[in-house]
A = this chain, B = another copy of it.
Amino acid sequence: MIVGIFGIGRIGKVHAENITRYFPDIHIKAIADPFMSEESVNFCKQINVPVITNDCNVILNDKEIDTVLICSSTDTHSSLLIDSANAGKNIFCEKPIDYDLDKIKAALNAAQKNKITLQIGFCRRFDHNHKSVHDLVQAGKIGTPHIIKISSRDPSPPPISYVKVSGGIFYDMMIHDFDMARFLANDEVEEVYTSASVLVDKAIGEAGDVDTAVVTLKFKSGTIAVIDNSRQAVYGYDQRVEVFGSKGCAINGNDTSSTAQVWGEHETVTDTIIKGMWDRYRGAFIAEIEAFCDAVKNKTEPKATGVDGLYSVLIAAAATKSFKEKRVVKLSEIVY
């Protein structure tokens, strides 16, 4: 597999580094970023990337490159996706494909028309803890799902400048959880209701967003999922899921840095949970690339498809609408 990477920000570097370390069969031939910094150039050199460029066309026009990773800013995803698909390249695209439903549709059409493999970067589907719960559900251990609970809380809020352009908590943060809910329920959402507040930082409210949100999803089967998000969990990056069903309950907890504890006179103290996203999902970032390679090689359906990318945005749109209109919103109301 000969790979080109669009965008060499944080997530681009993570994928490039993981590929260099763990995937000896993948050759990163080119990395393109219109805003390539000196530090990024050095990074690319250190991992022996032959072609380092500001120009995305270098990758698009390179016939040898059969696969691309789209790790650039969200507003460039759909056009790069369409161009890459038209150039016949397999595509791993970071989420979200776009916030605009028409652009998503165009991107999915291009992927389908060109019969390339498209996987969306819903890394959490590949996380050891979440995947275990998913697999236990799929193995029938809990029977039919009745209630799904997802807690997803960031250690600290992003800068207000970012909040303003983020698309809001439902597009920016909870989108992962919408995908997780669909992944765990193995079903499609019908109704969405949002209850949300500004409790962490007033400035987030002034920027037109909320920082604390609980969204209830009703699936076609009647399964109910409830997701809670907070922009600030001081104790760490809180990532838990639970699927309750007719035969039992599958549930996970947070990872900790160690299993050590101290039994003291007045309290028992255990290690805190892992604080950073990059640490928490370190294994998931590797596993999603491995799964993508498998899908490309075996020409099988990826485990996080373009349609998954579309649906998470549809639900984000419904959740936003529900919040604004203070009412339950049917997914069918979101037209595209």
Contact = CB atoms under 8 A, between A and B. Distances in A.
A218 B256 CA distance: 32
Contacts of A235: 248-249, 263-265, 268
Nearest to A219: B197
Contacts of A269: 267-270
Interface stretch (A28-36, A49-57, A118-126, A127-135): A127-135
A332 interface: no
A250 interface: yes
Interface string A239-270: 00000101111111111111111111111111
Contacts of A213: 224
Tell me the number of copies of this protein. Answer: 4
Interface stretch (A92-100, A103-111, A142-150, A291-299): A142-150
Interface stretch (A76-84, A169-177, A226-234, A303-311): A226-234
A193 B191 contact: no
A230 B244 contact: yes
B216 A193 contact: yes
A2 interface: no
B212 A224 contact: yes
A158 interface: no
A269 to B, nearest CB: 5
A154 to B, nearest CB: 12
A272 interface: yes
A319 to B, nearest CB: 13
A46 B258 CA distance: 33
Given A128-B258, A132-B258, A268-B235, A195 B199 contact: no
Contacts of A266: 272
A236 B151 CA distance: 23
A268 B256 CA distance: 10
Given A196-B224, A249-B233, A258 B147 contact: no
Nearest to A235: B263
B263 A251 contact: yes
Contact of A147 (B128, B146, B228, B265): B228
Given A196-B224, A197-B218, A235-B249, A212 B147 contact: yes
A128 B257 contact: yes
Contact of A193 (B128, B153, B328): B328
A142 B263 CA distance: 8
A145 to B, nearest CB: 9
A146 B246 contact: no
Which A-B residue pairs are the 7 nearest by beta carbons? A132-B260, A197-B222, A132-B258, A235-B263, A253-B259, A248-B264, A234-B265
17 contacts: A132-B259, A141-B264, A147-B214, A193-B216, A199-B246, A213-B224, A234-B247, A235-B249, A235-B263, A235-B264, A247-B265, A255-B259, A256-B268, A267-B269, A268-B273, A269-B269, A327-B327
Given A129-B258, A147-B230, 14 more contacts: A136-B260, A144-B199, A149-B149, A191-B195, A197-B224, A212-B222, A216-B216, A226-B226, A235-B249, A235-B265, A248-B262, A248-B263, A252-B258, A265-B272
